[in-house]
Amino acid sequence: MKKSPSSKQWLRRHVDDPYVQRSKREGYRSRAAYKLLEIDERDQLLKPGMVAVDLGSAPGGWCQVLGKRAVPNGLVVAIDLLAMPPVTGVTFLQGDFTQTRGLLALTEALGGKKADLILSDMSPNLTGIPFTDQARSMALAELALDFALEHLKPGGAFLVKVFQGDGYQEYVKLIKQRFEKVVVRKPNASRDESAEQYLLARVLRQA
């Protein structure tokens, strides 16, 4: 099948991307690793011995960062619909986070422990219909928030990817109702043309 001009343009931009080139040199599976590294440099999220959950982890760039920072004595649990090659220090579950079976497996893997950090870099399978894709993205963000409210330590942190569009302002309002501190992060490793942002929420409000 002949590639469209837009797909050729994306491929050319991807190959020339300095973060893609850097990830190949430094052994990270994706350029996304640098988003987490940059946020951590600013906000000091990652600590030895922490309990962390990575929602939507494949191909594993964030897991590589988490696995290195959590040792020794840490616990990192990751889940994704797609298969992911093993990452040292990470317990990976291939499953559907949005279904009961996936949630139960994730809860079991935590072994009753509350998390210091819950991250969600999840994106839906895109349809190309902006309204549908945005609605699906916000639904994933809401599910991630529900999970964080149940499994996060009171002083823990929740980092979630969201896209500006329908439902964004309502989600920000909701997350501010549940956490004491909420800030927006747009790492340099996030492409300028992307509508993605990361919301970093800390310190659960008392119910």
Numbered residues of the known binding site for S-adenosyl-L-methionine: 60, 62, 80, 96, 121
Distance, in Å, from the CA atom of 114 to the CA atom of 112, rounded to the nearest integer, reads 7
Residue 136, token pair as written in the block: 């699906």
Distance, in Å, from the CA atom of 138 to the CA atom of 123, rounded to the nearest integer, reads 9
Distance, in Å, from the CA atom of 13 to the CA atom of 20, rounded to the nearest integer, reads 10
Q: Is 161 a catalytic residue?
A: yes
Between helices 5-16 and 18-26, what is the axis angle to 10°?
A: 50
The residue behind tokens 């350029």 is 31
The residue annotated as part of the active site, out of 161, 173, 176, 186, is: 161
Distance, in Å, from the CA atom of 171 to the CA atom of 131, rounded to the nearest integer, reads 16
Provide the annotated binding site. 60, 62, 80, 96, 121
- Asked if residue 72 has a cis previous peptide bond (ω within 30° of 0), the answer is yes
Q: Counting every residue, how long is the chain?
A: 207
Residue 190, token pair as written in the block: 């996030």
Catalytically active residues, by annotation: 161
